Structures are given as C-alpha cells and as structure tokens.
Structure 1
Amino acid sequence: MTIMTKEMSAIPTGAHKQALTLSMLPELEQLLGNNAIKQHTADHILTLWIDKHQLIPALNLLKSIPEPFNFLFDLYAIDERLRLDKALLPAKEFTLVYQLLSIERNQDIRLKVALEDNEHQVSINSIWPSANWYEREAWDLFGIVFDAHPNLCRILLPPTYQGHPLRKEFPCRATETEPFTLDDEKLAREQDALRFNPKEWGMDESSGDNDYLFLNLGPNHPSVHGVFRIALQLDGEQIKNSVPDIGYHHRGAEKIAERQTWHGFIPYTDRIDYLGGVMNNFPYILAIEQLADIRVSERVKCIRVMLAECFRILSHMLFFGTFAQDVGQLSPIFYLFIDREKLFSIIEAITGARMHPSWFRIGGVAQDLPQGWHIMMQEFVDYFPAKLDEYEIMVMQNSILKNRAVGIGKYDTQQAIEWNISGVGIRATGLEWDLRKSRPYSGYENYQFDIPTAHNGDAYDRCQLRVDEMRQSIKIIQQCIDHMPQGNYKADHPLTTPPRSGKSKQDIETLIQHFMNVSWGGVMPKGESSFAIEATKGINAYTLISDGTSSSYRTRIRTPSFPHLQMIPSMAKGLMVADLIVILASIDFVMADVDR
C-alpha cells in the first residue's frame, strides 16, 4: 500500500460521474489545510487521514455542502498493532474509519482517524443518529471510547463479557481459551445482567398517576424473525418507546476472517444473510478480485448475475409469505414454499447445494453450468410470473392486510438517509437508488430491467416493491438464458483459488501452484478494497485489508439489516404492539445479517 502526497487520478467504477479528488471539495480542502494525508486504495475511494480534532468539522461540512455526503455508509475500527505494512501508513495503534456516501454525486469519501490505545474520540451521534449502534459496536469489539455518546454499552456481546474480541491480542479460536463453565452463581449473574433497566435508557417508569408497562418482545418469538429482543415501554397498548436488543446471533464472522484463508472464508459469507445464498459471496469475491486485479470472463459475470437474481427471488418469496403470515394470512406461505422448492431444485442441480452453496470463487465459479441448465431455468421463468400474479391478488389486494399495513412504519427519503436505510426501504420513499443501475457490477449495465419505486414509504409499499422486484429478476434471468456467453468459468490469473484442476495435470508448475493455493491459500497483494452490491435486503459491502499474507488482516462486513433495525424506535413510536409486528415484517431482516 502506498500513501500518496499529491492528488492522484482514480478509475471510476460503474456509473460514477467522475473519480472524486480533494480538489473537487474546495471547502474541505480549505478546512483540512495541509494536515490531510491521502491514501491510495484498490477501490479508488478518496481516502484521507485527518486529525481527530478535525473530524467533527469535516463531517458537518460534508453533510452541509451542495450535493452532500449525507449517508453514513459505514463506521468501523481497525487494530493496526500487528500490521506488517504499518510503516507505510500514518497509523497509530487503532484507526477509526468513517465512510460517507453522496447519493446525488454517486461518490464516496473515506475519512480515517489514527488513535493510540485508550485514546477517546468524540461521538458523531449528534450528526447522524445512526452512528449510535456503529460506535457501540466499535467500543464493544475494540474498546474505543466515544465521548458524549448517549449510552455507550455492549451491543453484540453480553453485558458481563470481558474483553474486546476484535483486538489482535484476543484469541481467534475457542481452544486457545479456558474451557467454558457455567455454575449456578455465574448463571444467576448472567440472567440478572439481562434484566431490562428502563432508567439506563432514559425511560420513566411512570407518568403522574400512570404506570408504564415494560414488555419483552423476544428474543424467542415468531414475529421477531430470529433471536431478537425489543424492550417496549407501553402506555396501555400504545408504544411510548422501544429498545432493540441484538447480539444473540453474534458468531464473530469478522474475527473468523482473520484466521481463514481468502478462499476458505467463502462458506462463512453464506451464513451472513442466510437467505441470500451466493449473494453473500458476491461482494466478498468482487472485493478480492478488485484488490488483486483479477478479471473474469463475460460468462462468469452472467452466471453470477443469474444465480444472484435467483436468490433475490428466493429471499423475496420467503419475505412475501412471512409478511402475510405475520398479518394473519396463512395460506400464501405454503404456496410460496412449494415454489421455492422448485427454484431450490434448480440451484441444487447447478451448484450441488441449496441454501448455502458457497459456489462463487475467486476468479470465477466452482464449476461450469451443467448440461440442460437452460431447460430447467426456462421452465421456472415460464411458470412463476403467472403464479406471482395470483399471490399478489391474494395478498396485496386483501382488505385486512391493507388496513394493517398502509400508513404503518412510514418515513420519507430524508429520514431514510439519516438512518442509513438502503434497498427497498429507501426506494419505497420514491428514491430510485439501486447499485445494479447506479454502480453496475458484473455486467448489470448490459441488462434491461427497471427499478420499482413507491412514494408512501410505509409497510405496504415495502411489500409491494419486493413483489415488483421479483418480476424484474425474472426479466434479468430470461436475458441470462437467452444471451449466456461462451468462455471459461475460471480466470487463469495465478491468484485464482483454486485453479482449474484440469490444467494442474499438464505441467509441474501449475500443479505446485494448485497445491500451494489449496493448502496454504493465495497471497493477496497489500492494499485495501471495498465493494458494495445491491443484496436482497439492501446494500451489502465487504471492506478487505491485506498486508500481503494468505488471509485478511481486517474484514469489515457492512450489512443492510444492522442500520435498518436501529430505526425501529422512531418507526414504532405512538403505534400499537400489533403495528410493530407489521413493521418488523416489512423490514425483512435476518439476525445473522445484523449480528454477523
């Protein structure tokens, strides 16, 4: 990785207007003076190391300029202490990264702040309310303290947890720690720590002569779609306030990435949004290929798009059925599960697996398409649209569902941006923002399809748009069937992992490469690469940092569901408990996507 001291030209990706440079932001350039250090990254996002005291003024400025950077795309930390290429960076012991997005400009900017161990940083919660959870996560996993944070406490780990597991001194494997024990005394402490204390969250237990009721919804409840708890402050049946409580599904995916090879981590990505299948592999693989400059064939691009859209349909079908079920309509989910099985059978015939095929590879896919794939796919494409029309009438025209969903959980575009809402959530407010069109990847620019939008921004619109998106996915799959290119299913780049096994039988050099890449893993070049895609539930992105070894030094997984759940209190305030169930259903989340 090289730190650049002069302006550098970057290669724009997808439909970016122009690569962003500091000179294009004269107000920011004047504010920072000569203190900012520019860093070259493989993703060509303008990346600036700035002084910690300049962070708040810089963020306020970027949020207020014309065509503002007003979307807090991500906020995360890095433990730099064991980094092999640390001398190339203006880093200290820890780094805080603030990545901002300007939808109007279709550009990103990344600000970095270097910190010593135990050094504090001021919270940006007053600028973006969505920063609350991101800062809690950085404290929980790294121990970085944010001054003026409204409630800096554990978010993914239990309140009694000792240590901060994404610090480098924390072991990666359970076998490196003492065996876990849970005696009666410890169990009692753990249970007591989970008790909800309203005062910790600024809630009064009573108002005059009226005592509020505090109700736990979850963590084991069918309507919260996973192990997810919401502590509700109720005045009768009306929600006065609510506190989402996540972390019950946390498995340390970002920590696991530090000990797996680049190739070996692919199956773990499938378990993030476990309804998204290969859609989870997509941003991870693309970030690696961007880092190592691996170019894939048009056939690979088309295969990836086709499989990704299949999983978009599979995810939306399950959402559609469970949304109706949560409102009280049981029939649709049974019909939709039958159709999901039809599509899963095709996925299994192509990849050998169903929900978690882990089928995308660095430089391509695991195997070429089998003979007859197009016949199976065409049968489903011909069959499903008419069935979807039936389901839409059954569900979306149901008067009870309309009464339950129209006007519930409503927000506008500005609120969506403030809370980092992406995917269907922001498109339901009328904003046509879809990375497949705005920043096309894997050849999406070659496909004819529309981006459905709505204008009410409520639970009903969010459901309707997913129905519309399934139709667009069918259109994309049809184009893949009609125009599947010829070519290799795997690139010949030396870092393609694993290489095509057939070539390894022809000469000793390729056999050695195959043995090394499979047993030790490919060694990716030093650098930093971030790639975002339009996943089933919104924008999913992987940021990978390599210091030139066979595994990632830091893997950051930016999931859409994490910020989406943070908006629940503002969406549900003043509504009934039954309305909250509709809101939860309309968000369409899985807890593995939140907790990682």
Structure 2
Amino acid sequence: MLDTTHIQEQLFERFGRDHFTIQITADGIPTLWVGRDEIIEVLRYLRAESTPAYRMLYDLTAIDERARHNRPGQPDSDFTVVYHLLSLKPVAEVRLKVALLEDDLHLPTATTVWPNANWYEREVWDMFGIVFDGHPNLRRIIMPPTWQGHPLRKDHSARATEFEPLHLDPKRQDIEEDALQFKPEDWGMERASEDNEFMFLNMGPNHPSVHGVFRIVLQLDGEEIVGAVPDIGYHHRGAEKMAERQSWHTYIPYTDRVDYLGGVMNELPYVMNIESVMGIEVPERVKCVRVMLSEFFRITSHLMFFGTYVQDIGAMSPIFWMFSDRQKAYDVIEAITGFRMHPAFFRIGGLSMDLPKGWDRLVGEFLDWFPDRLTEYKKAMARNAVLVERSKHIGAYSQDEALDWGITGPGLRATGYDFDLRRDRPYSGYENYDFEVPLGKNGDCMDRLDVRIEEMFQSCRIIRQCMENMPEGPYKSDHHLTTPPVKERTMHDIETLIAHFLTVSWGPVIPAMESCTMVEATKGLNSYYSISDKNTMSYRTRIRTPSFAHLQQIPLISQGGLVADLVAIIGSIDFVMADVDR
C-alpha cells in the first residue's frame, strides 16, 4: 500500500487542511471527513488530478451512527456517507466521509462525477433515507416501492417475527401490482418518436435468459433496443442486516450465500479482514489451503458461466456436460471440506479442520483430467461459428467505460486492462504462485468468454502448485482470539473450558475499529467493510459485490442492439442475483 500521508498532503495543499478531519482506521486506508459542500469538488480532484488518480468509485455506502458509542476523534454525525475510491495502477485506496445530522439528510449527487454512483446512491436512499440532491431518479432499488422505512437504520426491525403477519388481500395485491407498473416518463423515456410508437417489453423477472429474478424493461423500436431499465431487488436476502445480529464467528456461513457460486471465495475477505484487525497471522498451510479451495471455486463458477452462456446462445448439450464436470470438482471440495457449494470452511485464524488423508490424490486426479476436457470445450463450443457470430463485437465497452462503471474482474480484463489483485496486491500467499493474467482486446461478449476460459486453465496451474508445495504445520493459528480456539487447551482447567465455550458461542470481542479487505473473487473485486463497536457482533457490515456494479452497464452496452443480442450480453456479464441484492 502506498504511503498514506501522500494523498493527504495533496488534498491539504489543494483544499486546505482545515477542510478535513483525519480518521485512523485499522486497515490503514487514508480516511478523511469532508464537508458536504466540498465533497463533489474533492471527488473530482481525486478522480482526475491527484497522484495517483483514483479513477474508480469502488463503493458508496452509509452508516447509521446513532447507536454507536466508540467514535474517538470523529465529527458528530447521525448518519455518515462513505465514498471508497480505488486506483488500479498503482493499487491504492482512499476513503472519504461526510457527516450528516438526522434533521438534514441531504448532500449533492456524485453522478456528475461517476455514472455508477447512480445505483449506489439509490441504495443508500433506500436503506438509510439519505437524499442525494440532483440525482436523476432517486427511488427505491432493493426494497419494493411500497415499503415503509429504511431497513439498515438501527431503529428498523431485523427479524420477520418483529413485523405484523403479512395479509395479501385483494386490495393490497392491487396496490402492490400498481406500484410495479412501468411508467416510461418516470425514467425520462418517450412513448413515441416522430415516426412511430415504441414498444415496452418486460424481460423477466421470471425469464430463463435473465439468470434469476431480474427484470429489464426494454424500450423497443421493432427489434432494436432504444433504451433499457434494469430492475433489481427481487432476491433481497438482508445479508448486511443479518450481520448486525450474528456473532463475528457465526456469520461466516451467511457469506457463502452471497455469491452462492463462489463458496469459500466469499469467506476469504471476511475472515482476512477480522484477522488483520486482531493481528492474527495464519500459518502458511492455512494460506495455501485457502488459495487452493478459492481456485477450485473459480473453476466451478466459470464452468457454470460457460455452460449457461452457450445455452443462451442456443446450444443445449454443453450445459449438461459442464454440470457433470462441476460435480467432479465438487467431489474434491466435499472430500476436503465436508460440503459442496457452501462449505463455511474458513475460520477466524484458520480452517475448520485439517486436510483429510488422500486429498492430494483426489486433487491430482482432477488436474490430470480437467484441462484436456476444457481444451475440447474451447474448440467445440467457444469456436463454434454460431457462438462467435453471436458474441463478437456484441456488448462491447472500452477501458474508460469499464472504470467509469466500476467493472472489475474478467469483465475489466476483457477490455485489455491488465489488472488482477492476486498479482498486483497479493494476499493469502498469492505472491508465491506462478500464473498468468488472461486479457482480451475488444471488451465484448467473446472476450469475456475467452478470458474466463483461460482463467480456468490458470486456476488449474495454481492448484497444482498448491498440491505440490503444501506446507506442513497447523490448520489454525495459535492465537487466543482464533475461533474456534485450539482444542488441546479445552480441558486444561475450568477457566480454559469456559473461555473455549464463550469463544465458540459468542465469538471474539473485536476492538472498536473500521476495516475493509478486498479479494479477486470469481466475478470481480469483492470486499467486506466491517465496523466494530467493541462487541461480539458487527455494528455495520458492508458487502461490496462485483455483480451489483456490473448490472448498471446494461443500458450502455445494449443500446442499438437487438433483443437477441441482449440475451448474449446478460449471459456474458456472469452475475448472481444474491450477489446483486445481498
């Protein structure tokens, strides 16, 4: 990480030291409080003029501060809006905060600086009730239009049992259905041009080509797409709210189910974030196992993408072959972790158990079999004339557009942008592995497919290095806050037995802190931003997922195309709705 004082000094020189309040955070990311009147100007400066330039609005979220006790050195605030900016070359982050009082929850929109601020600001208004003046269409995005209240406020109930039973009588049903009616004028769309009338088509939320409960309203001139409005929120599962009522330890299984195809990849940033705060150094064996399993899940996720993408184009057989191959990978995962899709295998300070006997034989058999299989898939399917015709130069975007919309992972690398967090800011020992970063050229559907195919080959390469160089040693850290603690200490005396019980049932008490850790997940950059108020559970957990950012680009890359092209575009993005709605 770059010297944290460097960007601070630039901001002080440009705007004056009096305009900022510095906050020390556990993750070491430069964190500065800014007044609402200066925030847009500061954001513009960091985007284009600072060194480095923080080209991407990585995340934008908020915190309800009203029940928080430990805020040393921070300005008075009832609600805080947090801007997380990212530079990719070099890798650097900066966090800006704006303090707001409950009777004046207004600040200017950042959509004039970054287009992807649109959905983030809608989410903050939806979840917290904070108004962004000048926003082009500030309306609910996750919750239904008729919802009362703002769910991530501390005074909003967290459990279904705290609400009145739902009675969907005919009158209530009519109200809900009317609220979902699409009115083009609300989105700045015209119903007709000088020559003809436009048709508005609902695609989803229950259509096989939209990959889940996802709705896109299309404005059509014949078969040509004139405009598109993605509509999310049908899969909302409240993962961030649930983090506020689970212990640090018992929340781990919930992380698997965010990107439910990513498995342990979701657990990794969460546990690494807590470990960094508590100063837990995990053994080398743990790091290696975590990398190996993460790459296994990269393969299973990409196989799902490959099979469904080819199916969207029109081929039926390949998805059955790839599902069969995924099961072989899951056989290895299950033999090691005990579960298939959602292992909850990583723990604070280590793993739930050590590698079983014979694990290396199973891994080796998979590696000896799978790459040849993938090579055949690439020849037979990815180079099929129909697939190439339906994919090449379809849904293309430039590197600048990708950065504007917060696109990361294979979607960014498909444009030729050479960035992979595993290589450029290694974590969990990735610096010890030899692998290449596949790149595309045009940023179209074809490149997004090819990049993921090549990434599966590279994952096999990393897994083989893990298998051949697996370190000896313990599978959890010898640290008093490791959860669960070292078993051998349990029966030493009554005090250690009690400590063991409390650590497992309540989990560790995390000191008051703020920290964020990101990883190169299956679909792009994924991170957990955790806030502790010196308790056994999180005060606020923010999950930044790649899928949420990626769906915003659909209107941009679908305009002028055909409905059939949109089917290919949606498939090429590779998203999971639980990763979008959280």
Secondary structure of the residue that 2:141 maps to in structure 1? coil
> What does residue 154 of structure 2 align with?
168
1:511-522 alignment, distance < 5 Å: 511-522=497-508
The structural deviation recorded for 1:352 is 0.8
> What does residue 292 of structure 1 align with?
278
Does the alignment pair 1:61 with 2:41?
no
> What does residue 56 of structure 2 align with?
71
Question: What is the alpha-carbon distance in structure 2 between the residues aligned to residue 299 and residue 354 of structure 1?
Answer: 21
1:238-293 CA-partner distances (Å, limit 9, x unpaired): 00000000000011110000000001111110110000000010111111111111
Would you say the 8 A contact 1:22–1:29 is kept in 2? Answer: no
Question: What is the alpha-carbon distance in structure 2 between the residues aligned to residue 29 and residue 183 of structure 1?
Answer: 62
Distance 1:473 1:91, change over 3 A: farther
Does the alignment pair 1:302 with 2:288?
yes
The structural deviation recorded for 1:175 is 1.4
Question: What is the alpha-carbon distance in structure 1 between the residues aligned to residue 11 and residue 240 of structure 2?
Answer: 36
- Residue in structure 1 matching 2:33, options 34, 46, 49: 49
- Residue in structure 1 matching 2:265, options 264, 273, 279: 279
Q: How many residues align?
A: 580
> What does residue 359 of structure 2 align with?
373
Question: What is the alpha-carbon distance in structure 1 between the residues aligned to residue 14 and residue 312 of structure 2?
Answer: 53
Would you say the 8 A contact 2:524–2:546 is kept in 1? Answer: yes
The structural deviation recorded for 1:501 is 2.6
> What does residue 405 of structure 2 align with?
419
The structural deviation recorded for 1:88 is 4.1
1:376-525 alignment, distance < 5 Å: 376-525=362-511
Query: AA paired with 1:274?
Result: Y
Secondary structure of the residue that 1:505 maps to in structure 2? coil
The structural deviation recorded for 1:391 is 0.4
1:579-590 alignment, distance < 5 Å: 579-590=565-576
The structural deviation recorded for 1:25 is 4.7
The structural deviation recorded for 1:87 is 4.9
The structural deviation recorded for 1:395 is 1.1
Would you say the 8 A contact 2:527–2:544 is kept in 1? Answer: yes
1:237-316 alignment, distance < 5 Å: 237-316=223-302
The structural deviation recorded for 1:518 is 1.7
Does the alignment pair 1:363 with 2:346?
no
Secondary structure of the residue that 2:18 maps to in structure 1? coil
Query: AA paired with 1:422?
Result: T
Question: What is the alpha-carbon distance in structure 2 between the residues aligned to residue 100 and residue 165 of structure 1?
Answer: 25
Query: Please, what is the CA RMSD of the aligned residues?
Result: 1.1
Would you say the 8 A contact 1:324–1:332 is kept in 2? Answer: yes
> What does residue 70 of structure 2 align with?
85
1:138-177 alignment, distance < 5 Å: 138-177=124-163
Would you say the 8 A contact 1:269–1:281 is kept in 2? Answer: yes
Larger deviation: 117-126 or 568-577?
117-126
- Residue in structure 2 matching 1:127, options 85, 93, 113: 113
Would you say the 8 A contact 1:23–1:29 is kept in 2? Answer: no
Question: What is the alpha-carbon distance in structure 2 between the residues aligned to residue 322 and residue 536 of structure 1?
Answer: 16
Does the alignment pair 1:30 with 2:14?
yes
Question: What is the alpha-carbon distance in structure 2 between the residues aligned to residue 426 and residue 274 of structure 1?
Answer: 22
The structural deviation recorded for 1:169 is 0.4
> What does residue 226 of structure 1 align with?
212
1:473-530 CA-partner distances (Å, limit 9, x unpaired): 0000000000000111111211111113333123333212111112222111111110
Would you say the 8 A contact 1:22–1:46 is kept in 2? Answer: no
Question: What is the alpha-carbon distance in structure 1 between the residues aligned to residue 528 and residue 332 of structure 2?
Answer: 28
Secondary structure of the residue that 1:480 maps to in structure 2? helix
Distance 1:28 1:321, change over 3 A: farther
> What does residue 98 of structure 2 align with?
113
Question: What is the alpha-carbon distance in structure 2 between the residues aligned to residue 95 and residue 24 of structure 1?
Answer: 20
> What does residue 580 of structure 2 align with?
594
- Residue in structure 2 matching 1:208, options 169, 189, 194: 194
Query: AA paired with 2:568?
Result: V
Question: What is the alpha-carbon distance in structure 2 between the residues aligned to residue 502 and residue 573 of structure 1?
Answer: 62
Does the alignment pair 1:98 with 2:98?
no
Question: What is the alpha-carbon distance in structure 2 between the residues aligned to residue 509 and residue 312 of structure 1?
Answer: 43
The structural deviation recorded for 1:416 is 0.4
Distance 1:281 1:424, change over 3 A: same
Larger deviation: 85-94 or 385-394?
85-94
Distance 1:403 1:481, change over 3 A: same
1:328-372 CA-partner distances (Å, limit 9, x unpaired): 011211111111111111111111110011111000010000000
Stretches of 4+ aligned residues off by more than 6 angstroms = none
Distance 1:91 1:534, change over 3 A: farther
Question: What is the alpha-carbon distance in structure 2 between the residues aligned to residue 27 and residue 115 of structure 1?
Answer: 22
Query: AA paired with 1:522?
Result: P
Would you say the 8 A contact 2:256–2:342 is kept in 1? Answer: yes
Gaps of 5+ in 2: none
Question: What is the alpha-carbon distance in structure 2 between the residues aligned to residue 571 and residue 32 of structure 1?
Answer: 41
- Residue in structure 1 matching 2:557, options 568, 571, 575: 571
The structural deviation recorded for 1:23 is 5.7
Query: AA paired with 2:207?
Result: H
Question: What is the alpha-carbon distance in structure 2 between the residues aligned to residue 121 and residue 36 of structure 1?
Answer: 17
Percent of counterpart pairs with the same letter?
56
Larger deviation: 378-387 or 515-524?
515-524
Gaps of 5+ in 1: 1-15
> What does residue 13 of structure 1 align with?
none
Question: What is the alpha-carbon distance in structure 2 between the residues aligned to residue 423 and residue 413 of structure 1?
Answer: 12
The structural deviation recorded for 1:67 is 3.5
Question: What is the alpha-carbon distance in structure 2 between the residues aligned to residue 209 and residue 442 of structure 1?
Answer: 60
Secondary structure of the residue that 1:52 maps to in structure 2? coil
Secondary structure of the residue that 1:207 maps to in structure 2? coil
> What does residue 8 of structure 1 align with?
none
Question: What is the alpha-carbon distance in structure 2 between the residues aligned to residue 88 and residue 550 of structure 1?
Answer: 23
The structural deviation recorded for 1:32 is 3.7
Question: What is the alpha-carbon distance in structure 1 between the residues aligned to residue 446 and residue 496 of structure 2?
Answer: 55
The structural deviation recorded for 1:158 is 0.4
Would you say the 8 A contact 1:28–1:58 is kept in 2? Answer: no
Would you say the 8 A contact 1:533–1:539 is kept in 2? Answer: yes
Query: AA paired with 2:458?
Result: Q
Question: What is the alpha-carbon distance in structure 2 between the residues aligned to residue 39 and residue 233 of structure 1?
Answer: 47
1:516-555 alignment, distance < 5 Å: 516-555=502-541
The structural deviation recorded for 1:30 is 2.8
Secondary structure of the residue that 1:38 maps to in structure 2? strand
Query: AA paired with 1:258?
Result: E
Question: What is the alpha-carbon distance in structure 1 between the residues aligned to residue 13 and residue 179 of structure 2?
Answer: 48
Secondary structure of the residue that 2:19 maps to in structure 1? coil
The structural deviation recorded for 1:27 is 4.9
